[in-house]
Chains A and B, each alone.
Chain A
Amino acid sequence: MSRLQVVSGKGGTGKTTVAAALALALATAGKRTLLVEVEGRQGIAQLFETEALPYEERKIAVAPGGGEVHALAIDPELALLDYLQMFYKLGGAGRALKKLGAIDFATTIAPGLRDVLLTGKACEAVRRKDRSGRFVYDYVVMDAPPTGRITRFLNVNDEVAGLAKIGPIHNQAQAVMRVLKSAETAVHLVTLLEEMPVQETVDGIAELRAARLPVGRVIVNMVRPQSLDAADLELVRTVPRASLARSLSAAGLGGARRGGHAERLVEPLLGQAEEYAERYALEQEQRSVLGELGLPLHELPLLAEGMDLAGLYELATELRKQGVS
């Protein structure tokens, strides 16, 4: 399985959440995963309920079964300083550059530079080995930019084409590209069962494929429970109201006669079922659009009580059950 797993998707669909759950899921017994964040938002720290992450790898969780999840928030400024230091031995001048805002300037006028630093750092972690020659991380999971930017973000070669044609950044881009376009990498897309995110997923996959970037899985997030299936809905349409009222009454919800409590529940409950049916039909439509992509499709439930650490582990378990690790 690919050792670099990149998680993208429309804004707000759950990229950070799914990336974290995936990192937990992949950290099976004896394994170690690195979860990296590239947008400087400290989403991982929030999710794991820890203080802000420095630009430094650290262990943030132990997965069920004993694997370890480490995390890293990549700071492009510091990454650039690292590079300058490594290749040009800048010493104190590096700090002066930073102070003058030159680093910020450089990464801002050349977004490609920023991207290659971020992806470069992730690729370095993928390839890093310890003294015994074993990979330090079994998997690296990246909480990546949203679908609209992901292809440009990963396609660093094109991005830095306008930059210096020689030197470390150029070489870095080449090395990164070799990893990103290989089977070592898989780009997953998170979506909801709604028209816009699904459309964005379809478009995003086409773009990734056109750029020859390896597409992995589609993960449908926040899937609402299927309280009623198609057969139930058929029954709902045909059952006489009076029978429903009697059944509600038998369940202890008041009188079934006209105006009784149970009887008065029938209309609103049927109204809710009708809304549900309409939504169900739309969701099925989106499911079939996603089905046509020919990619492994996973579904994660909407956690009714909102997200917290326990919920995250629940999603990780669900991902394992669905065979992602």
Chain B
Amino acid sequence: MSPDPAPAQETARAQEASHALESARPHDGARHLAPARVLDVDPLLDDPKTRIVVCCGSGGVGKTTTAAALGLRAAERGRKVVVLTIDPARRLAQSMGIDSLDNVPRRVKGTEGDGELHAMMLDMKRTFDEVVEAHADPERAAAILANPFYQSLSAGFAGTQEYMAMEKLGQLRARDEWDLIVVDTPPSRSALDFLDAPKRLGSFLDGRLIRLLTAPAKLGGRAGMKFLNVGMSMMTGTLGKLLGGQLLKDVQTFVAAMDTTFGGFRTRADATYKLLQAPGTAFLVVAAPERDALREAAYFVERLAAEKMPLAGLVLNRVHGSGADHLSAERALAAAENLEEPRIVDQADGKAGLRNSPETDGGSDSPEPSSPDPAPAPSVAELPDEQTSVDLVDQVTAGLLRLHAERMQLLSREQRTRDRFTARHPEVAVAEVAALPGDVHDLAGLRDIGNRLADNRRELPEPGE
């Protein structure tokens, strides 16, 4: 990919949005949050009116995994589904049988039930070539495909991947062979790129400047263009020196050839964009429970609302819950320290047998009668061995407690981050998916993620818990 052509705008946008974030923050310190709405995935997938689900989000949060898992789930619930993936991890692609780059959907083997899952991996160059081939007679198409500027454009210009993902979506939708299309979006810093990049590229290619520069002759003699003409010749002169005459000529030939066959990049980008606003399209924002990812998700949510594009909800992916979340990090650490203190003194005091502390936890359950340890105190002869094994067990226990403390610290940070998002967007339904210890790279793993997406259960404790 080539560098982003409009970084300055992006920075401005980020700053603007971060101001919005400040002002949206509630004033009071002690907030009492209502729990977020729970995103119910199955009704969305089952509804025959749902025709397109788009998974968006910033880089690396799990868009591809979520898209594939939703596709599999919908298929196993009886629908005929196609998943359009973009740059899937190698092993995932292999396990779905889509690692060959032929740019057409393939039936995925090994799904359960009556539905069908088809999947493909986007080949952006191939998709672009197809567009050219579909719109130009063979001779002209060949000329465009051979044009060096076209080649660098299709191989990875900023925005080409997004543009072609939309193009492919349009093609799949037009074939009308599937009940449901699940779309993954390209890796990018910002989820907004999926919406913005195609238009940006379209405007650039259709832009006035590119036309003026590549066809300055057309301007000759027009009134009021004098200054521009001087500017133009100076510009083409300077650019020619910099870029070489050939590149400019390539661009010029390309634009002329595309013009007569294609009818404008921007028009086309607009057309596919409309598809995203059509009823039957649902967006899912995927985010990790981290500040940056959720901030991006918030921008995206706001943008969708502004564009009147329907948001189904937020998938909060890779969250860390705990089956022992009533034991705080602080208590776990204190307990671990207790165990790591040498117990020799205790032994001398004859307390070695009292390994059972009274029930101090103010839990909801009825107090347990404290009882002396049923095991008899070790005899003096046994003591050294017994001591070693007790020490070993204590060491393991301390390790488990420290591990738990880390988990709890992570959990409360994730919870705070989530609650901040919820405070800003209480209307957004949320599905939480646990972080699995390993990668997700086969159908079983996708099924597991699908179950977690749909189980309507929170991984993290509710606010205030």
Contacts and interface: CB of A to CB of B under 8 A. Distances in A.
- Bound pair (A, B): yes
B35 interface: no
B338 A257 contact: no
A255 B359 contact: yes
20 contacts: A11-B59, A12-B58, A12-B60, A39-B3, A76-B3, A105-B213, A106-B242, A167-B241, A195-B89, A199-B90, A227-B403, A232-B395, A235-B396, A247-B390, A249-B355, A250-B355, A250-B357, A261-B361, A262-B357, A282-B438
B356 A255 contact: yes
Contacts of B20: none
Interface stretch (A58-66, A183-191, A266-274): A266-274
Given A11-B59, A12-B59, A251-B336, A88 B241 contact: yes
Interface string A35-77: 0000111100000000010000000000000000000000010
Contacts of A163: 242-244, 247
B295 interface: no
Interface stretch (A92-100, A121-129, A131-139, A309-317): A92-100
B251 interface: yes
A162 B246 CA distance: 8
Nearest to A84: B238
B279 interface: no
Interface of B: 1-5, 7-8, 10-11, 58-60, 89-91, 148-149, 152, 157-158, 187, 189, 204, 207, 209-210, 213, 231, 234-235, 238-244, 246-247, 251, 291, 322-324, 327, 331, 334-336, 338-339, 355-361, 363, 365, 368, 370-371, 373, 389-390, 392-404, 406-407, 409-410, 413, 437-439, 441
A271 B325 CA distance: 13
Dominant secondary structure at the B interface: helix
A244 B210 contact: no
B5 A108 contact: yes
B438 A111 contact: no
- Which has the most chain B C-beta neighbours within 10 Å: A10, A249, A270, A271? A249
A145 interface: yes
Question: On chain A, which size bracket covers the interface?
Answer: 35 or more
A261 B379 CA distance: 29
A214 interface: no
A269 B241 contact: no
A275 interface: yes
A252 B338 contact: yes
A252 B291 CA distance: 35
A11 B361 contact: no
A228 B373 CA distance: 29
Contacts of B389: 243
Given A113-B242, A164-B243, A255 B339 contact: no
B6 to A, nearest CB: 8
B11 A41 contact: yes
Interface string A1-32: 00000000011100000000000000000000
Contacts of B400: 228, 236, 244, 269-270, 272-273
Contacts of A90: 238
A295 interface: no
